[in-house]
Structure 1
Amino acid sequence: MRNAFFANAEGVFFIFNKILAPRLQGRPMKGSFQMNRKWIALFACVILCISVFAGCAQSEPAASVSAEAAQEASVSPSELAAQPSGSAPAAGVSVTDMAGDEVTVEKADRIVSLTPAGTEIVCALGAAKQLVGIDAYSNYPEITQSIEIVGDFNGPDVEKVTALEPDVVLAGTGLQQDAVDKLGEMGITVVVVEATAFDDIPKSIELVGKIVGMEDVAEQVTADIDAAVKSAQDNQPSEEKTVYYAMSYGDMGNWTSGPGSFINTMIELAGGKCITADQAAPWIEYSLEDLAAADPDIILLDSSMGSTEALAEVAGYKDLTAVRNGNVYAIDADVFTRPGPRIGEAVLEISEILNK
């Protein structure tokens, strides 16, 4: 079952090889990466979106939340992420991971997280000090700055991971299959914890909660997300507004989200209408002609692509209603595309934008 779960990696390779790689050649090094920061951000986001969106198309619409879940929790996910570490379960636990595999985790005193969402979940549950290794894009909360990096978007470095002697490795999808298989062959416990649909985010958080022995905290975090969704649904704007998510534009191509994606799901939960709702895939390159014809009321701009003012000067965008009316809003892709504890904050931010 795990191989089928990772099959969407082919989509990542296709987009990188056919669209991004030719444009990256000859760009200067920056830090430890071979790419300009903006191109890294775009490709990282592509990986996140394809891996996350791959299972979304067949998912059921977001379920309505209960009144109990809608009650506000005393601590937000962001605050939880910064709290001191908890402790691992005293005895081993058996779990069914997000790939559908049965895994026994003997202990979780030493954790390696291979996805930003997995890292954020561990921290939000109060187990940050159990993290001994993380991926290069795990940049939140602040404590991650002091944790060893074990790989970048090409996948984890198996030697670095094994050298850390982890009790458990929390994995995702995308380009990690080979490394995950090798780790498994070496006897290292690997659990796939990344959600592939909006509705699966609470399951992912509860799964990690069981692994680290913080199930009560996991319930609180998921309750916060449910409360955020209910708040957004209860405060939908009286007039329908059309929305477009600009993940990239210009030389990078007009890439955006489609049906089944996290972004579209959150826009719809908050009462907006996605102009890409009739598209065939959750991740698409949208033509400027179609964008002009749809003429959205609101544009959500990936913050890694620069300022809203810069977008307003680009041909094909500057004459759009959203641009002319000043309704272009920069959003943080780290918050909006990671299937983790901050997704409720993203829903509320969209709700606030729609109600302006």
Structure 2
Amino acid sequence: MIKNPTPRIIAFLTATILTCVVGLISIIFKSSFVEILLEVTLNFIVSFVLTLYALEFFIYRKIKLVYKSIHQLKTGKSDPVFPPLFGSTEDPIAGVTQDVLNWAKDQAVEIEQLRKNETFRKEFLGNVSHELKTPIFNVQGYINTLLDGALDDPEVNLHFLSKASKSADRLASLVEDLESISQLESGYLTMEMETFDVHDLIKDVFDSMEFIAHDKNISFGFKEGCDVPFIVEADKSRIRQVVVNLVSNSIKYGNKDGHTIVGLYDMDENTLVEITDNGIGVEPEHIPRLFERFYRVDRSRSRAEGGTGLGLAIVKHIIEAHNQTINVRSSIGVGTTFGFTLRKG
């Protein structure tokens, strides 16, 4: 039994069978050897050509029309070129069957991805509405309280106005972060590449955030041998945003009297930047989801610290927009290290 026969093989077998039948009939009627030979030869040729033509024209080319439709749906490119009649040495049905199977698999993967995106969209909308609702309700509550009479009390009105201002600031930060992540994910935001010293940039971030770290008495520093220039090529303002976010996290989740240490390492074509704290750490089950939008390990503490829940997602998008990578490792009670790479300048 021949597996996956080509049109030529089918035509050959058909012509052979018909020729044998004609030959037997000729022998029965006692035709001469020459006549039998001519009849058999002519019958084989005619049978072979007609069968091959029927297969090629009526079956093979119709299958190719199906393939063309699938091809256009998959790629949207111009029509595939039909091979000439009698020129195919491959099994067209097997080829088209494989294409159909591949196309079906692609469609199944695409449908599954669409379902995941729909679930993600619903979760994202739910998270956004939840995050926006808290500061909006707070502002509404403070303003309504003031309008109900608290405005006339100098001590109370300043307190409520201060609370409303903080909620408005958080709302503005959330909207700004949403805008940033939308631009990064859509690809509309381009990176303004320049050459600079990432060591100086980190030192500048340390200086600007000392007052925030003062409440917990958290110290900043560089690992031994890393307090030297490291020239990189990147978008300086965006990398500053990355460093500010990671250092801010190390302060928020760091222990009192703790420290935040930065290590800089030569990695051939890239420079590795590691920001390490000796804070509370992150449990292993949470680490794979740290860069998800609005994902919080400790929701109550995160909100108390004033985060929007989008910081690490923005950090990841910025680093990936530089065609680089970011990772995290952490141990409970020991601390957390975020590491990302930048191309050398």
Q: Which has the higher helix share?
A: 2
Q: Which has the higher Rg, Structure 1 or Structure 2?
A: 2
Q: Which has the higher contact order (CA 8 A, sep 6+)?
A: 1
TM exceeds 0.5? Answer: no
TM range (shorter): under 0.3
Q: TM-score, length-normalised on structure 2?
A: 0.24
